[in-house]
Structure 1
Amino acid sequence: MPHTLIIDTDPGADDVIALLFAMAAPEALALQALTTVAGNVPLAKTSRNARLACEWAGRPDIPVYAGAERPLQRTPIHAANIHGREGITGVDVHEPAAPLAEGHAVDYLVRTLRAAPERSVTLAMLGPQTNLALALGQAPDIARGLRELVLMAGAHFNGGNITPTAEFNVFADPHAAEAVLQCGVPITMLPLDATHKILTSDARIARLRSIGNRAGRIVADILDAYAPEEMRHYGMPGGPVHDATVIAYLLQPSLFTGRLVNVEVDSREGMGFGQTVADWHGSLKRPANVNWIVDGDAEGFFDLLARHIARLP
């Protein structure tokens, strides 16, 4: 059965690639809407970039609802050092023709999940989890409408990418991440542990460019501009495409391996702020609340991505 899908996102270079990927798979992902949140760049830019992705995919019919402008408690942070001032590097950005949908993303989530059949909606979360945390705070009953949450978030074995211990999406709003982890809905997390094993190469980017369509060129241009900074910082042979792994997991979960574990977030001020603690060996004997992904098939991922990007204009 296809996923009835909502994507919550903060585009972001890798988010844009994830959105194009998702919009190329309508037979498997019945995408209802995009909800945006401040994260990689401020909300006005994440909301514009989400609408640009819809335009580039030839899907201006997908509504984009703007959501939270700031985290629940902490001081807002962004990642322009990685994603550039506009949130996307390597391509020109402009104001899309399609406007934002009317209304706030949190109101959309509450309304939609309340009306949905029980356990019917998959929510893919590619940025800070502020929108869902706010929606659950207002209406805890909406959890019944969620089939599963699939998050690009967290780090354990890998270490962090914004501090030595924290991954950006969690660090940007650890209090929201705490609330989401406690909501009782089945959760899969694709942390840096997995995304740093699925890396670009010159050949993989060239394959995307050689597709010959606009979407392939856009993805290749973004990766050419985005990947080198992470490669330099980590000394990796290629760049990760973090958020796109969420879409690959939804389309072909057999590409990934992990296990059910207990995961908690450190929201205390200090060196561990925003850390996701994955109890991989069950030392604390606490109930498992997350399917924590630790590995993925890089070649299979890029094959899947290329096949789907080839479907777009």
Structure 2
Amino acid sequence: MNKQSLIIDCDPGVDDAVALMLAFGSPALDLLAITTVGGNAPLAKTTRNARMLRQIAGRQDVPVHAGADRPLRRKPAGAGEFHGEEGLGFMTPFAPTRPVADGHGVDAIISAVNARPPGTVALALLGPLTNLALALRREPLLARRLGAVAVMGGARSEGGNITPSAEFNIWADPEAADEVLRSECRVTMFSLDVTHQVRATEARIAAIGAVGTPKGDVAAAMMTFSQTVEREIVGWPSLSGWGPPVHDPCPVAWVLKPELFTLKPCKIAVETQSELTRGHTSVEFRVDAATAPHLWAATVDADGVFDLIVKAAG
């Protein structure tokens, strides 16, 4: 089997946890590294959480590198109300047995990409884009060597989840997102427009939990926590077939099975000046498809995504 080399840059985070369980359990991926960033929780917690999840999944072979602890220019922001005080919902923290890998997350990204043929290493960014922006500053040619860059971030038709027009990952470090989108990276963006189509219904959670493995138990528990939060904070109704959106598995699912998504060529820009619209993603679809710099995920086979999660949990 020809495996896809992948680096996951993340800020676990309950939906990051589901994405990591998907990646850890997918033999089609050559998971080169997990790099962490401050975002949903402070860097110390996101790094510990990634190590905890790695241990639960039995994937101690994958190095975890700590990255940027703050945005390029902004004060650190958090999302503890959506992820719990420790970042992993109801899970009780523990001290992982394997330490953080030597080397900063930015250096780990650069080294892994430069050590392999151009275009062969994909990067899934599930938190603020700070680490990639710093890597591009340090190694401008990295953009040409990277393969697909799959970003969970942005919003258009669905509106934002932090402000009326901004999604958290982009809002948390808009300057980093701006620099990445202005680079030559081949960015495919999985915004709230598509992640809101991927809902953790009771039936889907039950199917994952029924696998009866640590990976499945963690993924199901994270989605159950999201159900509680979305009902209490956002006010989603308790309706049959309803479920909270599961954002971060989408980029990993696309790397694994791109046919699950439809993509639209576009050009994406990020607002960095106005506090009113900070982090807004301006998406222009009136572009030449042959030369468009970015792709925007428009629709998804949600059942297909959950099938991948169930399979990876086994």
TM-score of the pair, normalised by structure 1: 0.94
SS in 1 for 2:306: helix
Counterpart amino acid of 1:304?
A: L
Counterpart amino acid of 2:76?
A: P
5 Å-filtered alignment, 1:253-264, equals 253-264=258-269
Could you tell which deviates more after superposition, 164-173 or 226-235? Answer: 226-235
Could you tell which deviates more after superposition, 114-123 or 50-59? Answer: 114-123
* 1:154 aligned onto 2:154: yes
Is the Cα–Cα contact under 8 Å of residues 84 and 90 in structure 2 kept in the other structure? no
How many Å separate the matches in 2 of 1:264 and 1:240? Answer: 24
Is the Cα–Cα contact under 8 Å of residues 6 and 123 in structure 1 kept in the other structure? yes
| Residue in structure 2 matched with residue 35 of structure 1 by the alignment | 35
Deviation at 1:286, TM superposition (A): 12
1:90-116 Cα deviation digits (max 9, x unpaired): 222211111000111112222232333
How many Å separate the matches in 1 of 2:218 and 2:290? Answer: 44
Match of 1:273 among 273, 278, 295: 278
Match of 1:248 among 253, 269, 281: 253
Could you tell which deviates more after superposition, 235-244 or 160-169? Answer: 235-244
* 1:292 aligned onto 2:296: yes
Deviation at 1:255, TM superposition (A): 1.1
* 1:207 aligned onto 2:207: yes
Is the Cα–Cα contact under 8 Å of residues 15 and 246 in structure 2 kept in the other structure? yes
Counterpart amino acid of 2:296?
A: W
Counterpart amino acid of 2:84?
A: G
Counterpart amino acid of 2:277?
A: G
How many Å separate the matches in 1 of 2:235 and 2:30? Answer: 36
Is the Cα–Cα contact under 8 Å of residues 151 and 189 in structure 1 kept in the other structure? yes
TM-score of the pair, normalised by structure 2: 0.94
Distance change >3 Å, CA 285–CA 75, structure 1 → 2 = farther
How many Å separate the matches in 2 of 1:18 and 1:235? Answer: 23
| Residue in structure 2 matched with residue 9 of structure 1 by the alignment | 10
SS in 2 for 1:82: helix
How many Å separate the matches in 2 of 1:234 and 1:264? Answer: 31
| Residue in structure 2 matched with residue 85 of structure 1 by the alignment | 85
Equivalenced residue count is 308
1:181-221 Cα deviation digits (max 9, x unpaired): 12212111110000001101111111111111222122111
Is the Cα–Cα contact under 8 Å of residues 114 and 141 in structure 1 kept in the other structure? no
Deviation at 1:40, TM superposition (A): 0.2
Is the Cα–Cα contact under 8 Å of residues 90 and 224 in structure 1 kept in the other structure? no
* 1:101 aligned onto 2:101: yes
Is the Cα–Cα contact under 8 Å of residues 5 and 31 in structure 2 kept in the other structure? yes
Is the Cα–Cα contact under 8 Å of residues 114 and 145 in structure 1 kept in the other structure? yes
Identity of aligned residues (%): 43
How many Å separate the matches in 2 of 1:206 and 1:217? Answer: 10
How many Å separate the matches in 1 of 2:285 and 2:145? Answer: 29
1:116-167 Cα deviation digits (max 9, x unpaired): 3211210110000101101111110222320110111111111000111100
* 1:193 aligned onto 2:221: no
How many Å separate the matches in 2 of 1:94 and 1:208? Answer: 24
How many Å separate the matches in 2 of 1:151 and 1:182? Answer: 14
SS in 1 for 2:143: helix
Is the Cα–Cα contact under 8 Å of residues 65 and 104 in structure 1 kept in the other structure? yes
How many Å separate the matches in 1 of 2:110 and 2:8? Answer: 14
How many Å separate the matches in 1 of 2:164 and 2:139? Answer: 35
SS in 2 for 1:140: coil
SS in 1 for 2:303: helix
Deviation at 1:270, TM superposition (A): 2.3
Output the aligned Cα RMSD.
1.8
Instruction: Find runs of 4+ consecutive structure 1 residues off by over 6 angstroms.
Output: none
Distance change >3 Å, CA 254–CA 198, structure 1 → 2 = same
Match of 1:301 among 295, 302, 305: 305
1:32-64 Cα deviation digits (max 9, x unpaired): 110000000000000001111111110011100
Could you tell which deviates more after superposition, 115-124 or 157-166? Answer: 115-124
Is the Cα–Cα contact under 8 Å of residues 261 and 287 in structure 1 kept in the other structure? no
How many Å separate the matches in 2 of 1:203 and 1:72? Answer: 41
Distance change >3 Å, CA 158–CA 286, structure 1 → 2 = farther
